[in-house]
Each structure stands twice: as structure tokens, then as C-alpha cells.
Chain A
Amino acid sequence: MRRIVKSRLFWPVAALILLILINTIARPQFVRITFQDGRLYGALIDILRNSAPLMLVSLGMTIVIATRGIDLSVGAVMAVSGAVALTIIDGSADPNSLGTVIVALVAAILVSLVLGMWNGLLVAVLGIQPIIATLVLMLAGRGVALLITGGFITTVNSSPFEFIASGYTLLLPFAFFISIAAIAAVGLAERRTALGVLTEAVGINPEASRLAGVRSRSIIWTAYAASGVLSGIAGVIYASNIRAADANAAGQFIELYAILAVVLGGTSLMGGKFSVAGTVVGVFIIQTLNSTILFLGVPSAQSPVFFAVVVVIVVVIQSPHLHRLTRSLIRSIRTNQTPEANGTTTNGESAGEESTSDVEVTV
């Protein structure tokens, strides 16, 4: 039991289960999944489908944050990628052919890779602070996307392209399988090879890991390139979902939600130790919370207030100052009690309290 509670994933998973429970009690249809025409439908399936863009972006953000960086440009990269893909499909003779769509996707992902490499160049080689280095692309990226689409919202009718976001394979939405593939790719690369350990080493102490022979520069560069590619795919999914390239709305605020997902998942913004599984849970928490807020009838424009409250609660729980405060509070309560009154029971209690505060540190 103690080991489960001490696990880094305990609090994020507990929060997600609590959120699902609240939803189920408030509206029993939330967990209902219906089977129709060989497809599954339901609120939970919608969450799986709609979370795909945020999932991809957050996975990339996790790796970047692990190297002690941050990538603000993900939303702009999404906009550029969507613009590239749709402009190619729109300009082609046959928008419905699979070949055209594949060419468009490859081009979009390649452009995103270049944009990610650009961020990596600024951070890893020129040594510019990540916040500012990626701010450049965050500002300029949407301008580039607008130039590509010519300032309009490009719309297309292409069934293979629409399949990406709204198609179904094996009962489940295709977009969910893209998420699974990305989680598997990042998980395997970071956890089944030495890359994950090296990334954490770079994040914990860049100078020491460089002296120890870790090629920190190329690891940081790879992290930003990966974030670029993942954002590019996310941009394609977003564009496929609305069947249009909207340079202003695509991926707006997604960098903030992605950072929130990473933090909710237990990865510290100070870099170092990171958790891919935690990020996955974090994304589902955000998506479920979003669905809850919509269910409550709150206009989606007002939902940021809820997320602000979540951010404040999470950072305050993580804060070392609060832990010092609670610990001294517990101590003062214990010293105020008479020695006869606290026998074995108080010891048990205090051990329990100690362990929860330990968990909070690891969260």
C-alpha cells in the first residue's frame, strides 16, 4: 500500500479517477459506451479522440522540459503544419487521392521538423534561454502560417484527410491510435534505451553530464526536433478535425495546456526526472476537466478560470514551503498533546502523515 501511495503516478491517477467518479455521479451517461455500426460511441470515447493533439504536443513538451527547457512554439508549429498540409491538398488536382494526402502529410511533418531543429539550434548551439528562443518562433510562426494560407482560412474536402481525425479503425477513433503510437514511440525511445537516462542527466546538471561525456548538445537538439515533429502531427490532426487551416486559432493556448499536462503528470519544470505515463494521465485529466466544464454549461470561453484554479492548487501542493509549514504544524500539534494521551495510535497517525508529505515532495 505504502509503495502504491509513494508512486509518482499516485496523485495524478487519483485525481483522474476522482474526476471520472464525479462525472459518473453527476451524469451516469458519462461512462456509457454504445456500440453502433462497428464503432464505439460515448463521452469517454470522445475524450480519447479529442485528446490526440494535446497528447502529442504534451509528449514533446515532456522531453523538452526534461532537458530543463520549454517549447512555447508548439501552437505556432501546429498552425504552420496545418497550413502546409491543406495548401498542398487544396492546390492538387485530386484532393481525394491517398497519394496527395500522403505527400501533404510528409511535407507538413518535414516543415515541422525544420522548425523544431531551428528551436534546437537557438537553445543548444547559441545558448539562448529556451523561453525566449522559442518565443521567436511563437511570434513569427503564425505570421508564416498566415503567409502560406494567404491570410485566408483554407478549407478542403478530402476524405482520406478527414479520416485522420474523424475515422475509425478497430472500433476506436483513428486519432486515438495516433496517440498510442506516439506514446509507444516516446516511451520506448526514452525508457528502453539509454536516451531517457541521458535526457534526465542533461536536465539535472548540464555541465556535469557534459563533463561525464554526455553529448548534451545533440540530446537537447533532438528534444526540440522531436517536439517540433509531434506538434506538426498534432497540427495535421487539428486541421483534419475542422477540415480547415486556421492560422490564428490552430493550437491557440495549447502550449499552456501542454505545460499544465506535464506538470500535472509529476514532471518538474526544473528539468531532470520525467514521466511519460504521468504526462499521459495529465492530458486525460485536462481533457476530462474540459468535458466536465462543458457539461456544467459553462461557456468554453470561461473555462480558463477552472484551469487557473487547478494550476494554483497543483503548484501550491508541490511547493516546498507548504511542506515545511505542514510539518511544523503537525509537530506543534503533537507537542501540545499530553504525553500520556498519545500512545501507539498517535505514532501510527504521525507515520501516516509523514508518508503523505513525502509523497507530495515526489509529486
Chain B
Amino acid sequence: MTALETTTARRTSLRDYYQSFMSRRASLIPAFAAIAILLLLFIGAEILLRGDFIAPRNISALLLDNAYLLVLAVGMTFVMVTAGIDLSVGSVMAFTGIWLAKLLAAGMSPVIAIPLILMGAALIGLLMGVLVQYFDVQPFIATLAGLFLARGLAFVVSLSSIKVEDSAVLWLQSTRFRLGSWYITPTGILALLVVIVGAFVMQFTRFGRTTYAIGGNEQSALMGLKVARTTVAVYVISGVCAGLAGLVLTAYSGAGYPRNGVGTELDTIAAVVIGGTLLTGGRGYVLGSMVGVFVYGTIKTIISFMGAEQSWMQIIIGALLLVFIVIQRAIVARSDRRS
């Protein structure tokens, strides 16, 4: 950013504009950086793979393959904006996924089974929220308990994978609404709906403003805002999102597997951080997290296109995470100096 400053220094009007933009919209910069990285990735892949990459088929598959991560990221954004963290999402996703598969295998109708698993996920979220809010437990530890609980419960439901035969759940995945070579599955629509609802709630409701206030400034949060209720609610939201992700993943893979989603909480946190949400809370956008998920998914696609080893995926995501937290650190340091 210092490099940017020196180039604009010669033209004062531009510099003024840049400075006022930076001070007013500093929290948007990481989100813009994520979009820039996403575009760069697309252009780079297009050149590297000689025009094979930017195809409707690939971009449609991006949404299809990462629908579960997108749903998880929306819930995680809520929690992280309150300066919390939710480590349990991967395990809750595995638990609800295998539970759903088991219920369906036992002949239960999905109309009952799906609300049931969502309620189970919400209960785990509620437990963690209550621990955080009413027992002063650090979010890290409370959700760690959630991680252990849900992972163990997943194995209690079944030690091996269970195939899903239910036509309604499989419909979510197999149906493709086509427009030319573009397509979208019901799971993709579900994920996008979650993003839209999440973005709307965060930006345009009292609940969303309270969420930002809790993470941003505890004192302002005291001024008549329902802090306790909101804090518990964000963990319930994240739990429900993890439950939905379990449904999406089970539909996607056609089976429930108790070992699913080990380490997915880290991928989710990485995607949300890349999308511009600050770990210190108070800043972040659901739409930014969506961009973060697409950055993650694009890197994954490029790696499999190049036939490189998957171990590079972990290294690149780690490096990208590092770059983004250093950028965020610089932005926070700047705005702290201003205020």
C-alpha cells in the first residue's frame, strides 16, 4: 500500500480521493483485494491452461463443488464479525450428514428428517452460544467442545458410510437447470439463497447492526442493543448453516460419512478471512466471504487441472491466508492511528 501511495503522491487530487476513500471505506479494501485475486486467478489460469479454463462448464462446477463451503462460510461470517470463531462447523456438517443418511435409510421421510437434523445442529450451536455468553467461555474453547461433541456423535450414528437412496435428496444434486452450457443445481440455488439471506440480514436489519456492534465496540454494544441474545443467535445461525451444509454435502456425495469435513473448519475460516472479514471482529461482509470461497474453489480447480499434488492446495491456502492477514494487520494499524 505504501507503493500505491507513492504513485498517487504526484497527483494530489487522486491522492485526496484515495485517502478519503481509505479512511471511509477501509473495511472494503480486503474484499476488493479478494475480488482482484479472484480475477487474477481466472486470467492466470486461462493463460496457463491455454484458454480452457474460463468456460461456463467450469464456472458452474465451481458453485456446485463448493456449495457446502459457501453455506458454512455465511454462518462463520456472522460468528467472526462478533469477534468469535466457530471450530465446530466441519464436525457438525459430518454429524448432520451421517444422521440424515441414517434417518433416510431407516425409511423416514425427508420432510421430517431434514428439519430434525437442522434442529440438532441448532441445538449444538445453542449450547456453544450459551457457554460463550452466559459462562464467559472463550469462543475458541466452547466451539472446540462442539467440535469434539459433533465428531463423536457422527461416529455414534455410524462408524462407516451410509448410502443415500432417497430420491428427494438425490434430486437436490442430480437436477440441473440449464441455460446454454451454464447450469445450476438445487444445492447451488440453496447456497446462493443462504448467501442472499445472510447478506440482507447483516446489512439491513437491526440484528445485523447489533452483530457488527458486538464485534466492533463493546461499549456501543451496551447502548440498548440486545447483546446476549445476538451473541447466542450467531452461534445458532452458524450451527444451522453447518446443518444445511451437511444436507448439501450428503446430496453432493450421495452418502453420509462420519469422517467427512475433518479440517473443513480451517478451510472455512481461511475462505472467510480471504474474503475480508477481520478476526478481531466488527468488519466483514457475507458477499466478501462468497468471493473468498470462490478464490478457494478456483485454486482447487486450477491445481487439479494442472495435475499437481493436492498437498500444494494446503500450502497455497496457508500462504494466501498469511498474505491476507498481513494486509488486514496493516489496515487495522492505519485506522487505529487515524482514530
User: Is the interface on chain A under 10, 10 to 19, 20 to 34, or 35 or more residues?
Assistant: 35 or more
| Beta-carbon nearest neighbor of B133 in chain A | A321
CA distance A263 to B137 in the complex (A): 12
State A28–B140 Cα separation when bound (angstroms). 39
Cβ 8 A contact of A304, one of B136, B148, B319, B325: B148
**A312 in the interface (beta carbon within 8 A):** yes
Of the listed residues A138, A143, A144, A306, the one surrounded by the most CB atoms of chain B closer than 10 A to its CB is A143
One of B13-21, B103-111, B214-222, B310-318 contacting the partner: B310-318
Q: Which residues of A contact B313 (CB under 8 A)?
A: 143
- Which of A32-40, A129-137, A176-184, A234-242 is the interface stretch? A129-137
Chain A 256-315 interface residues, beta-carbon cutoff 8 Å to B: 256, 259-260, 263, 269, 299, 301-309, 311-312, 315
Tell yes or no: B153 within 8 A of A by CB: yes
* A315, B152: Cα distance in complex, Å: 19
Closest to B138 in A: A269
Q: Does B314 contact A140, Cβ atoms closer than 8 Å? A: yes
**Candidates A132, A146, A301; contact of B159 at CB < 8 Å:** A301
The smallest beta-carbon distance between B101 and chain A, in angstroms, is: 17
Q: Determine whether A126 belongs to the interface, using a CB cutoff of 8 Å to chain B.
A: yes
* B309/A139 in contact, CB under 8 A: no
Which residues of the other chain, A, contact B102 by a CB distance below 8 angstroms? none
Q: Which B167-223 residues sit within 8 Å CB-CB of chain A?
A: none
Query: B145 contacts A311, CB within 8 Å?
Result: yes
Residue in chain A with minimal CB distance to B267: A139
In the complex, B326 has a CB within 8 A of chain A = yes
**Is A42 interfacial (CB-CB < 8 Å)?**
no
Q: A126-B326, A146-B309 are in contact. Are A299 and B159 (CB under 8 A)?
A: yes
Cross-chain contact A305 with B273 (CB below 8 angstroms): no
Q: Take A128-B329, A131-B140 as given contacts and tell me if A147 and B149 are in contact as well, using a CB distance cutoff of 8 Å.
A: no
- Please indicate the chain B residues that have their CB under 8 angstroms from the CB of A135 in the complex: 266, 269-270, 321
Closest Cβ neighbor of B330 among chain A residues: A126
| Interface: B134 (CB within 8 A) | yes
* Chain B window 125-140, contacts with chain A (Cβ cutoff 8 Å), 1 for yes, 0 for no: 0010001001111101
Instruction: Looking at the assembled complex, report how far the CB atom of A147 sits from the nearest CB atom of chain B, in whole angstroms.
Output: 5
Binary CB contact string for chain B from 261 to 289 against chain A (1 if under 8 A, 0 otherwise): 01000100110010000011000000000
Contacts of B145 in A (CB 8 A): 308, 311-312, 315
Q: How far is the CA of A322 from the CA of B136 in the complex (A)?
A: 10
- Interface band, chain B: 35 or more
* B135 close to A140 (CB less than 8 A): no
In Å, the complex CA distance between A316 and B135 comes to 6
Contact A308 B149 (CB under 8 A): yes
| With A132-B273, A144-B315, A319-B136 as contacts: A304 and B151 at CB distance below 8 Å | yes
In the bound complex, CA of A252 to CA of B279 (Å): 24
Report yes or no: B148 in contact with A131, Cβ–Cβ below 8 A: no
Could you tell me if B152 and A305 are in contact, using CB atoms closer than 8 angstroms?
yes
Residues of B at the A interface (CB closer than 8 Å) are 85, 127, 131, 134-138, 140-142, 144-149, 151-153, 155-156, 159, 258, 262, 266, 269-270, 273, 279-280, 309-315, 317-319, 321-322, 325-326, 329
Residues of A whose CB lies within 8 Å of any CB of B are: 70, 122, 126-129, 131-133, 135-144, 146-147, 151, 247, 252, 256, 259-260, 263, 269, 299, 301-309, 311-312, 315-316, 319-322
4 closest Cβ pairs, A-B complex: A140-B318, A143-B314, A305-B152, A146-B311
Query: Known contacts A70-B140, A139-B270, A143-B318; can you find 18 more A-B pairs with CB under 8 A?
Result: A132-B273, A133-B325, A139-B321, A140-B315, A147-B311, A256-B144, A256-B147, A269-B140, A302-B155, A305-B152, A308-B146, A309-B149, A312-B131, A315-B131, A316-B135, A316-B137, A319-B136, A321-B135
